[in-house]
Amino acid sequence: MNALAATNRNFQHAARILGLDSKLQKSLLIPFREIKVECTVPKDDSSFVSYIGFRIQHDNARGPMKGGIRYHPEVDPDEVNALAQLMTWKTAVADIPYGGAKGGIGCNPRELSVSELQRVTCVFTQKIHDLIGTHRDVPAPDMGTNSQTMAWILDEYSKFHSYSPAVVTGKPIELGGSLGREAATGRGVVFATEFLLAEYGMSIANMKFAIQGFGNVGSWAATFIHQKGGKVVAVSDITGAVKNQNGIDIPALLKHKEKTRSLKDFGGGDAMDPNDLLVHECDVLIPCALGGVLNKENAADVKAKFIIEAANHPTDPEADEILSRKGVIILPDIYANSGGVTVSYFEWVQNIQGFMWEEEKVNYELKRYMKRAFNDIKAMCHTYNCNLRMGAFTLGVNKVARATLLRGWEA
């Protein structure tokens, strides 16, 4: 099942639980606006190349739309639509005043020079500058983009609208980026894990963790788990996988990866097949990479008691049902990985106020927001006698539906 079908299915299940009107359901699913633009730029060899840029703005009932911009050669419109919709529910679950959006350019950033990437970004910004903005739609980095990309968007947008640091988040610190933003998603994953384990009288210390994906989110999550006394017994990414039942030395693994750009040949553990990581012996499994990795083929073999969805949509609905029957507790993506967008919100607030926070305040507020959201999800689970995924979806969908009705929606 693709990401859009799975997201729609979760939405419709939540809408049934809430008893939403069918016309309101349809209105909430249809994107507010879909933008598609042509971006033709000169390459370094003076030839010209054209790419398609896009932006899906899903919902703005609760505030400006928010979501990443990705650069990838095989951009799937359905996946982007699903991720824009997920951002609408995610921001509502986190109780930050945004709606959802997502977008990007169908290019391969690895095949472009820095100057070519800058030109592509500037042309894309020129085409959409009147449809984004501090109080309209606030982009952020995603797959294939980073803080430098956001700096280029800020610069190009400011040529049309004057200096506007709050038009994007995930910026360099020197241009109004927030302290704590780089580690925010991984830190939020660990906060969420702590809150869930505490419900069962457990803590991170001495629990065994397997982490799929060792990029920004996975590496920070592993670092914080290691610091809190948890044992990371297996890690994988696109370069390979490593295991050590006594716990991997995460600082040493980070140094090895920084030096070699690979997990291969790490002396502090044994190599393993990356495909085996999801079914590796552990207490807590944290998928931090791609969507759809847990499916009906491998779900029955998962040995973890808890799954923390740090990736977007890592668990197919079929796998969800299999894992639920096994008694595996799943903390859903629209809550578990919301640390990043929450600190993006803090960055936006700081930019609007022109008053920057210390990192300690950022981390304190992140923990407070995530604890409140966890308690709100638990309350929905209790009210509707549902699992954590439906608790989160009913929470998010209900907030957006209420905002839509209060603003005067009529069937």
Intra-chain end-to-end CA distance of the chain, in Å: 31
Max intra-chain CA distance, the chain? 63
**138: helix, strand or coil:** strand
pLDDT tens-digit map of 99-120: 999 998 999 999 999 999 999 9
Are 312 and 7 in contact by the 8 Å Cβ rule? The answer is no
The type of residue at 276 is: D
Of 260, 264, 261, the residue nearest 274 (C-alpha): 264
Tell me, yes or no, if 371 is annotated catalytic. Answer: no
Are 228 and 190 in contact by the 8 Å Cβ rule? The answer is yes
Domains of the chain with bracketed CATH: 32-164 (3.40.50.10860), 182-336 (3.40.50.720)
How many CB atoms lie under 10 A from the CB of residue 246?
10
Per-residue confidence (pLDDT) for residue 376, from 0 to 100:
98
**pLDDT band (50, 70, 90) for residue 79:** confident
Measured in residues, the chain has a length of 411
**pLDDT band (50, 70, 90) for residue 338:** very high
Per-residue confidence (pLDDT) for residue 362, from 0 to 100:
98
Strands (E), 260-355: 270-271, 284-287, 306-308, 329-331
Per-residue confidence (pLDDT) for residue 126, from 0 to 100:
98
Identify the residue with better confidence: 3 or 384.
384
Q: What percent of the chain has pLDDT over 70?
A: 100
pTM of the predicted protein model = 0.94
Residue 353 reports pLDDT greater than 80: yes
Q: To which residue do tokens 């990007």 refer?
A: 104
Tally helices (H) and strands (E) across the chain. 13, 12
Q: What is the dihedral of CA 14, 17, 20, 26, to 10 degrees?
A: 30
Q: Which two tokens stand for residue 137?
A: 């739609």
**CA pseudo-torsion sign 339, 218, 392, 406:** positive
Q: Which two tokens stand for residue 324?
A: 């639920």
pLDDT tens-digit map of 208-232: 999 999 988 999 999 999 999 999 9
**pLDDT band (50, 70, 90) for residue 1:** low
Per-residue confidence (pLDDT) for residue 150, from 0 to 100:
97
Q: Which of 102, 171, 208, 399 is catalytic?
A: 102
pLDDT tens-digit map of 31-63: 999 999 999 999 999 999 999 999 999 999 999
Per-residue confidence (pLDDT) for residue 4, from 0 to 100:
81
Per-residue confidence (pLDDT) for residue 2, from 0 to 100:
75
Residues contacting residue 293 through CB under 8 Å, at least 6 positions apart: 212, 278, 287, 311, 314, 315
In our burial notation (b when 16+ CB lie closer than 10 A, e otherwise), range 138-152 reads bbbbbebbebebbbb
**pLDDT band (50, 70, 90) for residue 292:** confident
Per-residue confidence (pLDDT) for residue 409, from 0 to 100:
84
Per-residue confidence (pLDDT) for residue 290, from 0 to 100:
81
pLDDT tens-digit map of 387-407: 999 999 999 999 999 999 999
Residue 316 reports pLDDT greater than 80: yes
Are 169 and 138 in contact by the 8 Å Cβ rule? The answer is yes
Per-residue confidence (pLDDT) for residue 310, from 0 to 100:
95
How many CB atoms lie under 10 A from the CB of residue 170?
26
Are 163 and 341 in contact by the 8 Å Cβ rule? The answer is no
Per-residue confidence (pLDDT) for residue 6, from 0 to 100:
84
Residues contacting residue 158 through CB under 8 Å, at least 6 positions apart: 164, 167
**pLDDT band (50, 70, 90) for residue 206:** confident
* Separation of alpha carbons 248 and 268, rounded Å: 7
pLDDT tens-digit map of 228-278: 999 999 999 989 999 999 999 999 999 999 999 899 999 999 999 999 999
Residue 5 reports pLDDT greater than 90: no
Residue 143 reports pLDDT greater than 90: no
Residue 155 reports pLDDT greater than 80: yes
